[in-house]
Amino acid sequence: MRSAPALSGGPLGDSAARDYSRKLQLFNAFAEPELRNAIASLELRPGMRVLDAGCGTGEALRLTPLDIAIA
């Protein structure tokens, strides 16, 4: 069985030589109001812990309240 040929770049133009982190930073800056609203809707309280199991740079974690533990 033959494997599929390797693609030169993903849908975001990412590759081993060029990752998508800059594009994600731009997206997060654009979407910050929506990200803040989404995080606020979680109603996080002091002492709670949050697991960031998403993909990406983790940059959106800076929008969480400072008294919440990020695991």
Chain mean pLDDT for the chain: 76
Mean per-residue pLDDT for 55-71?
74
Predicted structure pTM score: 0.58
- Per-residue three-class SS string for 23-62: HHHHHHHHHHHHHHHHHHCCCCCCCCEECCCCCCCCHHHH
In DSSP terms, 2 is beta-bridged to none
Bigger pLDDT: 34 vs 70: 34
Q: What is the pLDDT of residue 33?
A: 93
Mean per-residue pLDDT for 42-54?
83
**Is 17's pLDDT higher than 90?**
no
Q: Output the CA angle 7-11-12, nearest 5 degrees.
A: 115
The three-state secondary structure class of 22 is helix
The backbone torsions φ and ψ at residue 15, rounded to the nearest 5 degrees and listed phi first, read -160, 180
